[in-house]
């Protein structure tokens, strides 16, 4: 694909002034389908390519990632350009220099139009956005929460739905965004004890009439994510496969709801059978 034919727009404003919050609105009003924001290539409510810079451990690493300084990151986005055959794109940045550098690193032509945050937001709205960033440590990503749950497992993440009228006779603008607290937020990181996961799993098991008891729980947390392993004793006469499948889904849902962590792996093994009449267990 000839990237020099792509129409490039920029949306510029200082950090924390509400660019990501308004990105899709600005794109829609200018007839732009694709957005580059903090390392992500976004189309509508979908992440097309890239990894969010907000996952970086420090602000310096965040900036490096957002600028696509690594060849591997640039190549992924370029391949997406070719696959999507896009005609126009909106690049978000904190300065004119930043958006120009992003365009250059991705092999895009010069920016033909720049929209500034002051063009689309009032001073009051900008100040409100700054307070949300500096006081609460919250950042917005312009895609729905379900698009980010796996990548941001363990982060504080909340959905935000936007409804905005574009004027009489025009279709309303409806979109979803996500609010997170990155690890580089001044509020710091947080950890969850293994006992919390064990307590949640044991509670879910106690509510299942076909799970007699939990025999073993192992919790592993690594760079790959959260891995859970459980051995249970099931009640004689049940359909073991169906019971364990349903039980596994309920466990995943409760862990995600109560800890914001999405298990990367979860294995549940029926280690034995409880026979009510005999009141005894038989292990496999």
Chain segment 134-148, per-residue pLDDT in tens? 655 555 555 544 444
pLDDT at res. 185? 47
C-alpha torsion sign, points 17, 21, 22, 24: positive
pLDDT at res. 137? 54
Highest mean pLDDT: which range of 32-36, 42-46, 172-176: 32-36
Q: Is 70 exceeded by the pLDDT of residue 176?
A: no
**Domain spans in the chain, listed from the N-terminal domain onward:** 3-181, 194-283
Distance CA 255, CA 236 (A): 27
pLDDT at res. 139? 58
Selected from 1.10.3720.10, 3.40.50.720, 3.30.1540.10, 3.30.70.1350, the CATH number assigned to the domain covering 194-283 reads 3.30.70.1350
pLDDT at res. 108? 94
Residue 179 pairs in a beta bridge with 140, 158
Least confident of 66-70, 185-189, 222-226, 256-260: 185-189
Q: Is 70 exceeded by the pLDDT of residue 150?
A: no
Classify residue 112 by burial, with Cβ atoms within 10 Å: 0-12, 13-18, 19+.
exposed
Secondary structure of the chain as H, E, C letters: CCHHHCEEEEEECCCCCCHHHHHHHHHHHCCCCEEEECCEEEECCEEEEECCHHHCCCHHHHHHHHCCCCHHHHHHHHHHHHHHCCCEEEEEECCHHHHHHHHHHCCCCCCCEEEEHHHHCCHHHHHHHHHHHHCCCCEEECCCHHHHCCCCCCCEEEEEEEEECCCCCCCCEEEEEEEEECCCCCCCCCCCCHHHHHHHHHHHHHCCCCEEEEEEEEEEEECCEEEEEEEEEEECCCCHHHHHHHHHHHHHHHHHHHHCCCEEEEEEEEEEEEECCCCEEEEC
What is the model's pTM? 0.56
């Amino acid at each position: 694909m000839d990237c020099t034919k792509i129409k490039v727009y920029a949306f510029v404003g200082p950090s924390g002034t509400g660019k990501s919050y308004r990105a899709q609105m600005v794109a829609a009003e200018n007839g732009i389908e694709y957005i580059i924001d903090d390392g992500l290539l976004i189309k509508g409510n979908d992440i097309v390519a890239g990894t969010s810079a907000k996952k970086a451990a420090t602000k310096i690493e965040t900036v490096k990632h957002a600028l696509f300084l690594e060849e591997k990151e640039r190549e992924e986005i370029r391949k997406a350009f070719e696959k999507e055959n896009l005609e126009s794109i909106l690049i978000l940045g904190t300065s004119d220099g930043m958006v120009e550098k992003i365009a250059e690193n991705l092999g895009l032509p010069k920016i033909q139009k720049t929209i500034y945050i002051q063009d689309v937001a009032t001073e009051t709205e900008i100040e409100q956005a700054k307070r949300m960033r500096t006081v609460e440590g919250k950042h917005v990503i312009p895609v729905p929460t379900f698009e980010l749950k796996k990548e941001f497992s363990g982060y504080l993440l909340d959905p935000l739905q936007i409804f905005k009228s574009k004027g009489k006779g025009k279709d309303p603008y409806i979109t979803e965004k996500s609010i997170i607290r990155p690890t580089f937020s001044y509020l710091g990181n947080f950890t969850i004890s293994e006992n919390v996961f064990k307590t949640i799993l044991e509670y879910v098991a106690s509510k299942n009439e076909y799970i007699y008891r939990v025999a073993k729980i192992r919790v592993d947390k690594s760079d790959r994510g959260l891995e859970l392993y459980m051995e249970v004793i099931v009640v004689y006469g049940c359909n073991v496969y169906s019971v364990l499948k349903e039980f596994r889904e309920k466990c995943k849902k409760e862990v995600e709801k109560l800890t914001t962590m999405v298990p990367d792996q979860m294995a549940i093994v029926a280690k034995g059978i409880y026979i009510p009449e005999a009141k005894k267990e038989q292990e496999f």
